Amino acid sequence: MSLSFESICVKEPKDTKRNKPHILPIYASSSFEFENINEGIDIFTNKKEGFVYSRYANPTVESVSQKIGQLESYGLEGEGTAMMTSSGMSAISTLIAGCLSQGDKILTQGNLYGGTTELIKKIFTRFGVEPIFTNLKDYDHIESLLKSDPAIKMIFLESPANPTLACVDLEIIAGLGKKYDTLTAIDNTFCTPYLQQPLKWGIDFVVHSTTKYLNGHGNSIAGAIVSLDKEMMRDKIWATMKLLGTNCNPFDAWLTHNGMKTLVVRMEKHSSNAMALAEFLNNHDKVEHVNYTGLADHSDHELAVKQMRLHGGMLSFEVKGGVEAGKTLMNNIKMCTLAPTLGDVDTLILHPASMSHLSIPREIRIENGITDGLIRVSVGIEDIKDLKVDLGNALDFC
Ligand SMILES: *Cc1c(COP(=O)(O)O)cnc(C)c1O
């Protein structure tokens, strides 16, 4: 059929699909065409595998999701099913919206990622999901809560968690969840599956802000939800994601894919640099104490050794001299970047009392472990010599 000028302008070229690209292509396509009506019916009714509409599934996003599922379930029986979402927050909101209903309770800890605490308190309470914030390390108390309150339908945790890198025993929590028929979920952003595989200990769901270490280069916002239970992923997670529209876009999935290729070398270097920096700071006379699970004096050192391959790139420390010393340190840092994110290849440093937590009353801030001179460092993969010089010089001003 010969086409007119306007129709040629509009027509999609066909032969691009015959190429064999070495690198994952970005499928910037909102929908997918069918060969004929029967194929359309088969795909729509799940008789045949295929793509329909990118909010439901997209080839680029699905390829990267599959990789995250494989990594989280590496070496385990059964393959993890993963779905990427538009952010870490959308992974968490999709998980909660998909699994909990009005009248259900979510049992969690006070020291969660700030956005997660707000999401649970400000949004989900309006839909009748009640949070219980408690110390998840008090396992006897957790058991008595679960025993006495069957409305608790999910335990949501972070390990290690800001700012002290406190850890929770994943095996114990997963066991309690199974015993009392309560779903368990963890935010594994700090570790990535290279350092910690919560599914191995029996945790039902893993969520990620892939924005952080999985991408590693600070150029995308995305998240992921993973489980070994395919049915739950389809019926609870996918069914919710496609209606909330919390799906990941192909470009951010693609950027995450690029980053994940170097995940192992990055996590090894983040961890060895953080270990060396933690020891350096621990011996510095301007530093009150250092929070890093790799240090033998950290209260969760042994637990971290049990459930983590290495101790990761996150640490915090208390500079002597309170808020003023914290500000002075920030103002004299030369190489590290002052930025409110983590997990990038370059070192990021934050003084919560004067930055992220400035508007929070002092008593509440301190209650949550954000003391006046607390400095959080996302240790990058630079030469450790430069890191020591930069922090050492800045500490000399404090
Ligand atoms: C950043 C972060 C989130 C939120 O992720 P976004 O991708 O920014 O939505 C959730 N949990 C943890 C631990 C984080 O560091």
Tell me the DSSP string of 247-308: BPPHHHHHHHHHHHTTHHHHHHHHHHHHHHHHHHHHT-TTEEEEE-TTSTTSTTHHHHHHH-
Dihedral sign from CA coordinates of 5, 9, 15, 21: positive
Cα(30)–Cα(96) distance, integer angstroms: 26
Please tell me the distance between residue 15's alpha carbon and the centre of ligand 1 in angstroms.
40
Domain 37-260 in CATH 3.40.640.10:
yes
Portion of the chain with pLDDT greater than 90, in percent: 87
Q: Report the pLDDT averaged over residues 365-387.
A: 94
Ligand 1: atom nearest CA of 211 is 7
Q: In testing the pocket of ligand 1, which one of 113, 225, 248 has its CB within 8 Å of the most ligand atoms?
A: 113
Question: Which of 17-26, 144-153, 218-227 is predicted with the least confidence, judged by mean pLDDT?
Answer: 17-26
Mean pLDDT of the chain: 95
Give the residue, by CA position, lying nearest to ligand 1 atom 8. 88
221 in ligand 1 pocket by Cβ < 6 Å?
yes
Distant-in-sequence contacts of 74-78, Cβ < 8 A, 24+ apart = 74/193, 74/197, 75/197, 75/200, 76/197, 76/199, 76/200, 76/228, 78/228
87 in ligand 1 pocket by Cβ < 6 Å?
yes
The answer on pLDDT for 145 being more than 70 is yes
Cβ–Cβ under 8 Å, residues 208 and 68? yes
Please tell me the distance between residue 189's alpha carbon and the centre of ligand 1 in angstroms.
7
Give the residue, by CA position, lying nearest to ligand 1 atom 5. 88
Please tell me the distance between residue 358's alpha carbon and the centre of ligand 1 in angstroms.
19
Q: In testing the pocket of ligand 1, which one of 189, 205, 214 has its CB within 8 Å of the most ligand atoms?
A: 189
Domain with CATH 3.40.640.10 in the chain: 37-260
Question: Which of 10-19, 192-201, 286-295 is predicted with the least confidence, judged by mean pLDDT?
Answer: 10-19
Q: Report the pLDDT averaged over residues 282-309.
A: 97
Report pLDDT digits (tens) over 102-122.
999 999 999 899 999 999 999
pLDDT on residue 360: 85
89 in ligand 1 pocket by Cβ < 6 Å?
yes
Ligand 1: atom nearest CA of 91 is 9
pLDDT band at 35 (very low <50, low <70, confident <90, very high): confident
211 in ligand 1 pocket by Cβ < 6 Å?
yes
Backbone angles phi, psi at 81, to 5 degrees: -100, 130
218 in ligand 1 pocket by Cβ < 6 Å?
no
88 in ligand 1 pocket by Cβ < 6 Å?
yes
pLDDT band at 1 (very low <50, low <70, confident <90, very high): confident
pLDDT on residue 266: 98
Ligand 1: atom nearest CA of 158 is 13
Cβ–Cβ under 8 Å, residues 380 and 346? yes
Sheet holding 205-209, edge to edge: 81-85, 223-227, 205-209, 183-187, 152-158, 105-108, 130-133
Single-letter amino acid, residue 235: D
Tell me the DSSP string of 164-209: TTB---HHHHHHHHHHTT-EEEEE-TTTHHHH--GGGGT-SEEEEE
Please tell me the distance between residue 124's alpha carbon and the centre of ligand 1 in angstroms.
18
pLDDT on residue 173: 98
The answer on pLDDT for 17 being more than 80 is no
Question: Which of 46-55, 313-322, 324-333 is predicted with the least confidence, judged by mean pLDDT?
Answer: 46-55
Q: Report the pLDDT averaged over residues 268-294.
A: 98
- In degrees to the nearest 10, what's the CA dihedral of 160, 161, 163, 165? -20
Ligand 1: atom nearest CA of 222 is 7
Cα(110)–Cα(108) distance, integer angstroms: 7
CA-nearest of 81, 90, 19, 30 to 58 is 30
Ligand 1: atom nearest CA of 116 is 10
Report pLDDT digits (tens) over 221-269.
999 999 999 999 999 999 999 999 999 999 999 999 999 999 999 999 9
CA-nearest of 161, 88, 107 to 314 is 161
Give the residue, by CA position, lying nearest to ligand 1 atom 11. 113
CA-nearest of 215, 242, 197 to 97 is 242
Q: In testing the pocket of ligand 1, which one of 108, 191, 209, 255 has its CB within 8 Å of the most ligand atoms?
A: 209
Domain with CATH 3.90.1150.10 in the chain: 263-396
223 in ligand 1 pocket by Cβ < 6 Å?
yes
Widest CA span of the chain, in angstroms?
Answer: 81
The answer on pLDDT for 160 being more than 90 is yes
Cα(90)–Cα(95) distance, integer angstroms: 8
Please tell me the distance between residue 89's alpha carbon and the centre of ligand 1 in angstroms.
6
Dihedral sign from CA coordinates of 70, 266, 345, 158: positive
| Cα separations in angstroms, 343 against 8, 35, 204, 215 | 47, 44, 24, 8
Give the residue, by CA position, lying nearest to ligand 1 atom 4. 88
The answer on pLDDT for 359 being more than 90 is no
pTM, 2 dp? 0.96
| Cα separations in angstroms, 46 against 81, 307, 330 | 18, 39, 56
Report pLDDT digits (tens) over 194-228.
999 999 999 999 999 999 999 999 999 999 999 99
Query: Which pairing describes strands 152-158 and 183-187: parallel, antiparallel, or unpaired?
Result: parallel
Cβ–Cβ under 8 Å, residues 370 and 326? no
Helix 170-179 to helix 139-148 angle (10° resolution) is 20
Ligand 1: atom nearest CA of 342 is 15
pLDDT on residue 16: 62
User: Domain 263-396: what homologous superfamily?
Assistant: Aspartate Aminotransferase, domain 1 (3.90.1150.10)
267 in ligand 1 pocket by Cβ < 6 Å?
no
Kindly give, in sequence order, each residue whose CB lies less than 8 Å from that of residue 339, ignoring residues fewer than 6 positions away.
Answer: 348, 350
Q: Report the pLDDT averaged over residues 333-362.
A: 92
Q: In testing the pocket of ligand 1, which one of 95, 211, 350 has its CB within 8 Å of the most ligand atoms?
A: 211
